[in-house]
Each structure stands twice: as C-alpha cells, then as structure tokens.
Structure 1
Amino acid sequence: MLEKQFVFFDVPGATQAEAVRYLVEQAARLQRVRDVDTVVAAVLQREAEGTTGFGHGIAIPHGKSAAVTEPTLIYGRMVQPVDWQAMDGQPVSVLFMILVPEASHNEHLQMLAQLARRLMHADFVEKVSTISDVEQLSEYVQAELA
C-alpha cells in the first residue's frame, strides 16, 4: 500500500495548498499523476467539503481525478505543522494522501477506512509520527494496513 518511493520527510509548506501541491508534484514525478493542477484542485475541493484533519497531528487528504494513473498512497511529514482545521483543533504534521483515478469505485474508501481504523491506535500514530527511516516507515505502514 505505501511504497517507499512515496514516503517524503521534510515536506515544505505553510498552508494546506502548499503541502498538497508538493506531494502531488512528487506523485507526478513518479508518474502517478498526469496533470498536477487538476489533481491539486480535486484534493483541495474535497478539503473544502470538510476537513480531512483526523486529529493527533494527522490528516488524510484525498482526491479522485482522471489525471491520476493508479491508486496511490503518499506519506508526507511536514517541516513545520500546518493548520488543517483538524477535528481536535491541533495543527497537522503528518499527511497520508490518497489519490485515485476517476474510474475507481471504492479503492480510496477502502484505503481511508483502513487508515482511519489504525489511526485510532496511539501506538500507530506515534510510530508514523516518529519513524525517520523511509524503508522502516514503509514496511511498518504496509504491515499495519495489510
């Protein structure tokens, strides 16, 4: 689910839009996104409908677009926490971004549900917030979401 090339530490940005754009640009560089602006707009549109700030410093922004080539989970840890209008009012420093093609049916909902279930566990939240090795983080998340 979380491939190591989609793990990014030190994500720049002082706003939701900047963080989303950075991660979508990385997905485009890795050939999962054909049009950055279209996908950024889809993610931000979804965010405008209601916050994806889960709480405990974590957000799960997501979007569906024909410009996404295949379902992708991206992890990003912010350089500095960002106000995400999270449910608990706390700033966000960890992002799990889910991008899916327009034609997808329930892939993003399944990914979202799996993540949400794990994020209710303090040990998972702590580990995804503190592991600082790309390979270790990828393996941990893969094992937890399997």
Structure 2
Amino acid sequence: MKRFIQWAPAIRGNDRAAVLEYVSQFLLDQRIVDDAQQIRQDFLKRERQGSTVMAANLAIPHAQNPEIKQAVMLYLRVPQPVTWTNGQAIGRFIFILLPAQAAKQDLMAMKDFFVGMADVQTMEWLATGTYQEVSKIINGETN
C-alpha cells in the first residue's frame, strides 16, 4: 500500500469540488488511477450513500474499483477547512483507495489502521495533530 501525506498544498478553491479535483489530479499524477474524473465521481457517489465524516474536522472518503491500480492511503490537510457533508467544516481527510481485488497484505494494513483509530489520542492527532504526529500514524509507526 502506498501512503502519502499532502500538508496544506495549494488547492484552487475552498470547497468540496476543489478538494476532490486536487485529490483526483494527484492520484492521476502518481499513476494510481488513469481517469481523474471517474475517481471524483466514485468519491461523490460514496458520499451520497452516507457521510464519510468520522470526527470533528476529519473525513475519510473512500473508493474501491477495478480502475484503481494499487491500495492507497492519502492524508490531506487543506489550508482552510471546506464545507463537506451537511455543512460540516472539514480540514483533514484520509482518502482510501482499494483496487477491486485488493491484496490481503493491503487489507490487513487497512484493518490495523482502522483498529488503531479506536484510540482517542490517535483520532485527536488525525483531526488536529502536527505533521510529525500524523506522519507516525499514517506510516504505521505507532504502537
């Protein structure tokens, strides 16, 4: 699984569409997907099924389809919080992407990550932590 952290990158705009545009282009540039528009649509479709907001200031948009070339966890801290679902202001995102047939190793890594989110300190760091705190969590360097 590839893990990325984008910390306050230049995003054109300050709304959900701008965030999804940035992320889909980033994934295209990293050769994770071949179709930026399709992955944007996948994220929007998932959001329509139910909010991906997990905590104050933190959402975890996710997608799984055959067009995704490898499992990815992308942590994004936007320069300014954006209005996400139901008018909630979100400044931190963890984008999860899985290919249709994800490797067992990647699925286990995702499971371990989400189990770790049950820890109050972990959730606090993901929602408001420093780059160093977030990096340790995203890169699996915590106990």
Q: Mark the CA change 1:40 to 1:70 in structure 2 (over 3 Å): closer, same or farther.
A: same
Deviation at 1:8, TM superposition (A): 0.3
Deviation at 1:110, TM superposition (A): 7.0
User: Contact between 2:2 and 2:71, CA under 8 Å: does it hold in 1?
Assistant: no
- Match of residue 93, structure 1, among 82, 88, 91: 91
Could you state the TM-score of these two structures normalised by the residue count of structure 2? 0.78
Aligned to 2:81: 81
Residue type of the partner of 2:131?
S
User: Contact between 2:47 and 2:61, CA under 8 Å: does it hold in 1?
Assistant: yes
* Counterparts of 2:49 and 2:107, CA distance in 1: 16
Q: How far does the alpha carbon of each residue in 1:21-78 deviate from its partner, in whole angstroms, 9 at most, with x for none?
A: 2112112111111111111111110011100011121100001222211111100001
Of 61-70 and 102-111, more deviation after overlay is shown by 102-111
Aligned to 2:130: 131
Could you state the TM-score of these two structures normalised by the residue count of structure 1? 0.77
Gaps of 5+ in 2: none
Deviation at 1:143, TM superposition (A): 2.2
Gaps of 5+ in 1: none
Deviation at 1:97, TM superposition (A): 0.3
Deviation at 1:137, TM superposition (A): 3.5
Matches within 5 A, 1:1-146: 3=3, 6-11=4-9, 12=11, 13-85=13-85, 90-104=88-102, 111=110, 114-128=112-126, 129-133=128-132, 137-141=134-138, 142-144=140-142
* Counterparts of 2:112 and 2:88, CA distance in 1: 22
* Counterparts of 1:123 and 1:85, CA distance in 2: 24
Q: Mark the CA change 1:35 to 1:109 in structure 2 (over 3 Å): closer, same or farther.
A: farther
Q: How far does the alpha carbon of each residue in 1:73-106 deviate from its partner, in whole angstroms, 9 at most, with x for none?
A: 10000111122226xx742111000011233488
User: Contact between 2:2 and 2:70, CA under 8 Å: does it hold in 1?
Assistant: no
Residue type of the partner of 1:14?
N
SS of the residue corresponding to residue 143 of structure 1 reads coil
* Counterparts of 1:29 and 1:92, CA distance in 2: 24
